[in-house]
Amino acid sequence: MSDLLEHSPFDLLSERRLVIIADWLPPDFGAVGQYMQMRARSLAERGHDVTLIGLASGEGSTRREARGKGSLTEIRLSTRPVPRGSFLARLAWTVATNLRLVASGFRALRAADGILFTGSPPLLIHLLAPLKPLWRGRLVYRITDFHPECLIAARDRPSRALALLLGLTNFWRRRIGGFEVLGLDQLKRLRETGVQEERITLVRDVSPVSFDGDVVAEAMPAALKGACVLLYAGNFGVAHDVETVAEGYRLHHREGTGRVRLWLSATGAGADDLVRRFAEQGLPFHKSEPLPLDRLASLLRTPDAHLVTLKNAFVGFVMPSKIYACIDSGKPVLFVGSVDSDVDLLSRSTGTGQYWRVECGNVAAFAAALEALADRAAKSVP
């Protein structure tokens, strides 16, 4: 692993014209789109001519601008939200969206010296890789979430269809020009698929917001004033551990001191499940919608600590990107997940001592961590 570089293969100016494909671009909510927009702007400022293709919940648009030593063209495709009620509906949405993304940028893709695409929307590799003879530039896959591994990890029983899809996906992966991974856990997973290590580059994300200067915290919701506040911000979906959080939080309030209040500034099936369970059990909590990116730094400075979770089955397949901003906020982190995840590696590497990790399923340990967090918050009060 010593030959892995922590910078992009596109950081050098060997490829002048680049195309980046992502999903939801700001101001729409989506971590991948946020990071890819930051990446596109940075590459343009260093002299690349970049075309960024993504999705928008509002009107579609095309915008071109000179940026630094290069240029940036943003192509936004007006797209309806992902249908959540049916797997077949999601699959149809994914196929149609991927076709639109490639068709809208086909001319730019043909002319590009390099093409960078991500795991969102999923399964784009099945379109771009077979068309590789049409692309003159190098094709680089930035693994954000592994697909279809995430679908497989979310299931209770094996699926022959998904197993066949995984085999086909690995076939195309071995024919991609290069890969970027977000962490060492992803590197391990990718190597297990048969991709040679010399074709993999470690390119970690960074915080999408800056905490430099005077970042003023958001106003604390009235329901949380006077309590020790643990914030979960972002998407709380199928990859995140609901059970340990729900039962550990219940134990803290039923048999512990109940000093911690959970604030969910979140969307996703996991957030909805927690809201339902807490409401049924009469447990105190606060739910709000995620804030826009320009208010995220203020939000992350508001609570006493941040909650990050990841089920064991998803380690190396999903990297919770929120961890970078949580760490940079200077607030303690409580992680429910495995020591094999890079979330643990990054959190421990800060050396601040403001970090707790709880194994998935260890309800008592989660309740104990909440007590330790409340003790720490009480000591910090003047």
**pLDDT tens digits, 166-181:** 999 999 999 998 999 9
Three-state secondary structure string covering 167-230: HHHHHHHCCCCEEEECCHHHHHHHHHCCCCHHHEEECCCCCCCCCCCCCCCCCCCHHHCCCEEE
Contacts of 192 (CB under 8 A, 6+ apart): none
Given this model, what pLDDT does residue 264 score? 98
| Whether this model's pTM surpasses 0.85 | yes
The rounded distance, in Å, linking the Cα atoms of 5 and 1 is 9
Range 49-88 burial, b when 16+ CB lie within 10 A, else e: bbbbbbbbeeeeeeeeeebeebbbbbbbbebeeeeeeeee
Check whether 1 has a pLDDT greater than 60.
no
Q: How confident is the model at residue 215 (pLDDT cuts 50, 70, 90)?
A: confident
Given this model, what pLDDT does residue 351 score? 67
The rounded distance, in Å, linking the Cα atoms of 53 and 55 is 7
Evaluate whether 17-202 and 222-374 have a shared fold: yes
Strand stretches in the chain, DSSP E: 17-24, 49-56, 61-67, 70-78, 114-118, 138-142, 178-181, 200-202, 228-235, 260-267, 285-288, 305-309, 333-336, 355-358
151-157 average pLDDT score: 90
The distance from CA 104 to its chain's CA centroid, rounded to whole angstroms, is 25
**Fold assignment, 222-374:** Rossmann fold (3.40.50)
The distance from CA 96 to its chain's CA centroid, rounded to whole angstroms, is 23
The rounded distance, in Å, linking the Cα atoms of 169 and 370 is 41
Q: Which CATH class is domain 17-202?
A: alpha beta
Q: Where are the domains of the chain?
A: 17-202, 222-374
pLDDT tens-place string over residues 250-298: 999 999 999 999 999 999 999 999 999 999 999 999 999 988 888 999 9
What mean pLDDT is reported for the chain? 92
Given this model, what pLDDT does residue 11 score? 52
